Amino acid sequence: MSVELDQLLHQYENGHLTRRGLLGALSALLVAAPAARAAEPAIGAVKQLNHVTVFVPDVQKSAAFYQNLFGMPLLTRQDPGLNLNAGSGFLGVYPAQARAPGIDHVCLALENFDADAVLKKLTDHGVKGSIRLRGDTKELYFTDPDNIRVQLQDVTYRGGTGPLGDRDPK
């Protein structure tokens, strides 16, 4: 932005740019600056919404609801719940048990996800996170400023105990 600013000032000082033109160009630079910063995310660029997990009173009833309305086939079982295929992502449906029904978390997918490296970056940015193991898969969780739980995972994650999940549901 510094080079562009120098060029604008040079054009203005040499009479090739009016005051109005200079103000318009400066405004455009200021508007473009946040967009340029957004291109370099601190943690990594999200490639997709991987999944949303909901807690429900009756897993089978809720699964049938989504399957009947949207044709979402079973992707994986993770007893006591299951994951329904939703195109490039999935919907996790699990029993609410002692908690209120609702959305438990959203999962954002990053390419070449490394849970340990991402956790360090989160910590460096003042965000507390934690990693838990599900089988041999590391799952990274943190909460956003509004206390919404967020999971980060690799774009290949499809539920289950490995990065591609249990492809042979029981």
Tell me, what's the pLDDT at 42?
87
CA-to-CA distance for 52 and 108, rounded, in angstroms? 9
Tell me, what's the pLDDT at 13?
79
Say how many Å lie between the first and final Cα of the chain, rounded. Answer: 57
Tell me, what's the pLDDT at 32?
63
- By DSSP bridging, strand 137-143 and strand 46-56 are unpaired
Say which amino acid occupies 87: G
Q: Where are the domains of the chain?
A: 2-38, 46-154
pLDDT tens for the chain, 170 residues: list them.
556 767 767 777 788 767 776 667 776 766 665 554 555 788 889 999 999 999 999 999 999 999 999 999 999 999 999 999 998 899 999 999 989 999 999 999 999 999 999 999 999 999 999 999 988 899 999 999 889 999 999 999 988 644 444 433 33
**Bridge partner list, 40:** none
* Domain covering 46-154, topology: 2,3-Dihydroxybiphenyl 1,2-Dioxygenase; domain 1 (3.10.180)
Say which amino acid occupies 134: R
Cis previous bond, 34, omega within 30: no
- Alpha-carbon torsion (64, 77, 84, 139), positive or negative: positive
Residue 123 backbone phi and psi in degrees, to 5: -60, -45
CA-to-CA distance for 80 and 70, rounded, in angstroms? 22
Do 126 and 168 form a contact (C-beta atoms < 8 A)? no
Residue 108: closest CA among 53, 162, 63? 53
